[in-house]
Structure 1
Amino acid sequence: MPAPSPSQPLLSVIIVSADSGPSLRDCVKSVLACTTPLEVLLIDNASSDGIPQAIARAREGDPRINVIYNHANLGFGPAVNRAAAKARGKAFLILNPDCLIDQAALQRLLDILATEEKVGLVGAVVCDGQGVPDPASLRHDPLLGRALATMFKRDGGVHVETIPDHVVEAEAVSGAVMLMPQRVFEWLNGFDEAYFLHCEDLDLCRRVRDGGWRVLLAGDVRVLHGKGGSSRHRPVFVSYHKHRGMWRWFYKFDPAARKPHVAAVVWLGIWAHFLLKIPGQWLRMARR
């Protein structure tokens, strides 16, 4: 691995896998094809598909990659935190296992991190195979009023209607691609490990801002995101943790949670929504 220069310190790319499927190979391959001095920490949450082990064997001679095995599924945030504790980089790129990044996109993100003031986190526009941006790329905090506006398709919801093609300040970006200075990640003690899966990215963005740093979206950086590599196999499991994450974010940050009667209604609404989704998820699984 080339030694990083003082102007281009080592980057640590953290990828969490959990039965993520073949897309994990492509993700790792895309990162290792980049010329930026970097290390890859692939941390696996007890996958049964054998792909992390196959990657480790295939890349055995490459000192840039370190495959870490957890003996249980710890969840996304806890896994990132454990990988970060072993990372050597001055910046962390947290990358979903179904994302593909190239050198141009990576360099642009690093340039923004280096040139903008008081940056705590930089995100990118994640897109599907047809190039359509995921609305989660640029979001507002999911306060109760905004969540209701989104549910009833009214203005002032959680998602921003038009994603710009330049750098903008954001309340929250997608957790699929997040670049952070190592010192900021450590100051925040990383992800809140009470989240298992989903909403931990919203939580991290909020805490970055509360700590006095800026969250930025690189609107001119597009990253292909396959989305849902592991969730397709366990939709009810993933949905449960998504709803659990929604409740935790609401209870931590939304002023409406201070009113017990409002909090009770929100709690009931979240879990009723979860229960209503289960039959459709089971039906889709049965059709595959």
Structure 2
Amino acid sequence: MTHGVSIVIVTFNAREDALACLASVHAHPPARPWEAIVVDNRSGDGTADALAARWPDLPLRRLPENVGFAAANNIGIRATTQPYVLLLNSDTLVGAGQVEGLCAALDGEPAAAAAGPCLVDGTGQQELSYGPMISPLNEARQKVRGRLLSAGPTAVRARIAADMQRRQFVDWVSGACLLVRREAAEAVGLLDERYFMYCEDVDFCAALRAAGHRILYAPEVVVTHLRGRSRASAPAATTRRYRDSQLAFYRKHHPRWAWLLRWYLAARDVTGRRG
């Protein structure tokens, strides 16, 4: 049985990226029934108008305020109908066969509720688009792994890159390009809207795993992720939102550590350190 796919794209002040993303989807649609919807978080750069002018028949939700990434995705999910839902960042580009390939990967893994591809930047450099459940130790390990991948010894970089080419079940895949079975998503209540942006994908995958599903990383599918274009318009606000989501995640999943994280983040703010 072929499952159709609904593609949900959330936009915020990323007009050119959103235009390029939608153009790539229309140029390389999946070989199955599909639909796309854009949910605009009240962009101030004319994103919604530009999309409407380019694709007059494109379903487009213009929100009266910026409700955040998780809530906007939920609006898009509820407004669509296909059995599969692809959450796709506006700063991504899909090539020929990539959406179909990700759908086929999920078709072939009945135990999996969600799947994510290998993400690469504009130069083709792989990014860590999957990982272990967030915890103090795992966050540190993931940061070290990311640094080694970009600037570590050649042998270490090769070993990490080789692991990133292995299809595997993981704790989470990036929300920049995340395919999920609608039935499973609805059963866990969709994305948790306490996360304005960041951590919502890890939390969502945790909810799916808690419901007995698996999360698939499918590196044979490669999607370009240009990263952070809309964040660049308001870096201070973006940092604050990230910290808020990080704290919300720890309060929900690791309450014993939340107080220490709150103290640590406050200390960084006092000393002017970031990152």
Q: Aligning the two structures, in what range does the TM-score lie when normalised by the shorter sequence?
A: 0.7 to 0.9
CA RMSD after TM alignment? 2.3
**Structure 2 residue 15 is matched with structure 1 residue 17:** no
**Structure 2 residue 54 is matched with structure 1 residue 58:** yes
Q: Cα offset for 1:35?
A: 3.6
Distance of aligned partners of 1:182 and 1:263 in 2 relative to their CA distance in 1, 3 Å threshold: closer
Q: Which moved more, 1:201-210 or 1:245-254?
A: 245-254
Taking the TM superposition and a 5 Å limit, the aligned residue runs for 1:98-247 are: 98-135=91-128, 137-149=129-141, 153=144, 161-162=160-161, 163-247=163-247
Q: Which one-letter code corresponds to 1:265 in the other structure? A: L
Q: Which one-letter code corresponds to 2:136 in the other structure? A: L
Task: Report if aligned partners of 1:240, 1:274 keep a CA contact under 8 Å in 2.
Answer: no
Task: Report if aligned partners of 2:15, 2:50 keep a CA contact under 8 Å in 1.
Answer: no
Distance 1:154 1:167 in 2: 18
Q: Cα offset for 1:277?
A: 5.5
1:40 paired residue number: 36
Report percent identity of matched pairs. 25
Return the TM-score normalized by structure 2: 0.88
Unaligned runs of 5+ in 1: 1-6, 282-288
Distance 1:148 1:227 in 2: 21
Return the TM-score normalized by structure 1: 0.84
User: How many aligned positions are there?
Assistant: 261
Listed one character per residue, the Cα deviations across residues 41-100 of structure 1 (whole Å, up to 9, x for unaligned) are 10000001112212112211x4xx201110000000000111111101111000000101
Distance of aligned partners of 1:182 and 1:275 in 2 relative to their CA distance in 1, 3 Å threshold: farther
Distance 1:154 1:76 in 2: 26
Unaligned runs of 5+ in 2: 149-158
Task: Report if aligned partners of 2:15, 2:46 keep a CA contact under 8 Å in 1.
Answer: no
Distance of aligned partners of 1:224 and 1:210 in 2 relative to their CA distance in 1, 3 Å threshold: same
Aligned-partner SS, 2:218: strand
Distance 2:121 2:140 in 1: 26
Distance 2:193 2:140 in 1: 27
Q: Cα offset for 1:164?
A: 2.7
